[in-house]
Amino acid sequence: MRWLSLVRTPPLYRTPTLVRRCQSTSAPRHIRVLQDTYPTDDYTNITPTISSKLSRRLHAQEGHPITTLRSLIESHFPDFAHLSSLSPIVTPHQNFDSLSFPADHPGRAKTDSYYINKNAMLRTHTSAHEVEVFAKGTERWLLTADVYRRDEIDASHYPVFHQMEGAKIFGTDASSIDQIEQESQRLERQLALSNIDIEDVRHISETNPAQTSHDVRSSEVIAKNLKFCLNSLMYKLFAGIAGAAKSDPLRVRWIEAYFPFTGPSYEVEVFFRGKWLEILGCGVVLQSTLDRAGVPNKMGWAFGLGLERIAMILYSIPDIRLFWSEDPRFLSQFTHGKFSTFKPYSKYPASYRDVSFWKPSSDMHDNDLYDVVRDVAGDLVEDVAIIDRFTHPKTQRHSLTVRVVYRSFDRSLVNEEVNLLQSRVVSCLQKLGVEIR
C-alpha cells in the first residue's frame, strides 16, 4: 500500500503477519526499544532495521533538509506551539481509537503497522498525538515527528518518514466565528495578490458533509479558514519552483477526501513538472476527538503533511534513502535555512537479482517480503518489484517473481557482495516457508 496516498483504502481482507525473525528461529521473549524493555507477543513485528531508526531524529538535526523544511513551515505559523519531542512509541489507542478509527480499519493490521507488542506500536501518523496535545490546553500547534509504516520499497517509499501536523481550535460563539472570518478575509486579500491558481471544491457537500453535531455555517467558516491558511502555506513553499517558468502561476487543487478523524475532509495537491502531487490531508477535527481531549466547546481544523516528499522537490533529492545518509558528501551540501539543489556526488551502478518462489500455504503479505529484504540489505536496496504473479491452475498455489535492485550511494557493489545479499534474502524467505522455484 502506498503511504503517500494519505488515505488508506480498505483492502478486502487482511491476513496475519508471519513471524519473520530470520536471524533466530525462536523469537525473543523481550525486546529493547529506545530505553525500555518490552515483552513480545504475537503482534511483535518491529525489526532491528526499524528499531535503529528511532533515535536518529532527522527532524532535529541542524542543517538537515528535513529540519530546514520544518523551520520554514514553522515560520509560517509563528504564533503556534512548535512541538517535536514526542516519543514515537504510542498505544494503539492513541494511534487509532482516540481518533475514532473503526475496529476493523486496515491501518491497524500487523501487515501495515509496526508493533512492539499488542499494547505498544510505532505511531503511523502525527495525528496520534491530537488528543494529548489538545488536552494540555494547546489551541494552536505544529508537531513534527518520525512516523512508521510497513510499505513497499522504491525511490519514494521508506518505512520511516516525517510528518508535520498542524491544528487550530476556536471558540464557537458568534464573536469567535466573526474573528475567524476576519482572519480568513485578510489571508484571502493576500492570496489575491499572489500568482496562484486554486482549483477549489465546495467546503461541504453531500459526499463530504459537516459532522451531525456541527452547525453547518460554523463548519464552513472553519473549513474556509483552513483552506486559506494552507493555500498561503503552499504558496510559501512552492512559488517559484512548481511551474515551468516563474511567470506560471502555482497550481493548487483541493479534492474531497475521507479520514476517520475529520469531517469534512480534503486533500491538497500541487502541480509540479506536469503531474499533480498529493501534498497533505486535512479537515475539520472530529468533535469526539475534542470531547476526549476535554475541550468539547471548541471546534477546529487539522492537517498532516509528509516532509520527505516536499523536501525531495525543493532540494531535487532523487531518492528517499538519501535523507538517512551519514555520508559527508550528502550532509555537507546543506546549510540550515537554505534551499539548495542537491548535486548527486555519483551514481554507482545498480545490480539486480530475481527470485521466483511459491508462497507458503499460510498466507504471506507483500510487506513481509519487503521487511525481509530491508533487514538483510538495509539501505543497499533501492527497489523491490513484483514482476510476475500467477496461480497454478491445478494446485492453486501462488507464485511470485521478485526483482530486487541493489545500489549503494557511496560505492560500487561487487558481484560477490550482491550475490551474498541475495542468498541471505532467499534463505530468510525460505524460513518464512516459501519454496524456491
Residues binding ligand PHE (CB under 6 A):
6, 125, 127, 165, 259, 262, 281-283, 302-304
Considering beta carbons, is residue 43 or 266 the nearer one to ligand PHE? 266
Q: How far is the CB of 339 from ligand PHE (least distance, A)?
A: 24
> In terms of Cα–Cα distance, which of 127, 40, 58, 54 is closest to 89?
54
Q: How far is the CB of 157 from ligand PHE (least distance, A)?
A: 14
User: What are the residues facing 146 on neighbouring strands?
Assistant: 162
Q: Which residue is nearest to ligand PHE (CB)?
A: 304
Q: How far is the CB of 102 from ligand PHE (least distance, A)?
A: 15
Query: b/e for 129-167, b at 16 or more Cβ within 10 A?
Result: bbbebbeeebbebbbbbbbbbbbbbbeebbbbbbbbbbb
Q: How far is the CB of 7 from ligand PHE (least distance, A)?
A: 7
Rounded to 5°, the CA angle 297-171-234 comes to: 120
Considering beta carbons, is residue 271 or 303 the nearer one to ligand PHE? 303
Considering beta carbons, is residue 64 or 168 the nearer one to ligand PHE? 168
In contact, 33 and 53? CB cutoff 8 Å: no
Considering beta carbons, is residue 129 or 359 the nearer one to ligand PHE? 129
The count of other CB atoms within 10 Å of the CB of residue 309 is 19
Considering beta carbons, is residue 224 or 359 the nearer one to ligand PHE? 224
Considering beta carbons, is residue 44 or 126 the nearer one to ligand PHE? 126
Q: How far is the CB of 262 from ligand PHE (least distance, A)?
A: 5
The whole-angstrom separation of Cα 349 and Cα 347 is 6
Q: How far is the CB of 84 from ligand PHE (least distance, A)?
A: 17
Q: How far is the CB of 299 from ligand PHE (least distance, A)?
A: 14
Considering beta carbons, is residue 187 or 284 the nearer one to ligand PHE? 284
The whole-angstrom separation of Cα 165 and Cα 158 is 19
Q: How far is the CB of 94 from ligand PHE (least distance, A)?
A: 13
Q: How far is the CB of 265 from ligand PHE (least distance, A)?
A: 6
Considering beta carbons, is residue 243 or 304 the nearer one to ligand PHE? 304
Considering beta carbons, is residue 307 or 428 the nearer one to ligand PHE? 307
Considering beta carbons, is residue 7 or 436 the nearer one to ligand PHE? 7
Q: How far is the CB of 304 from ligand PHE (least distance, A)?
A: 3
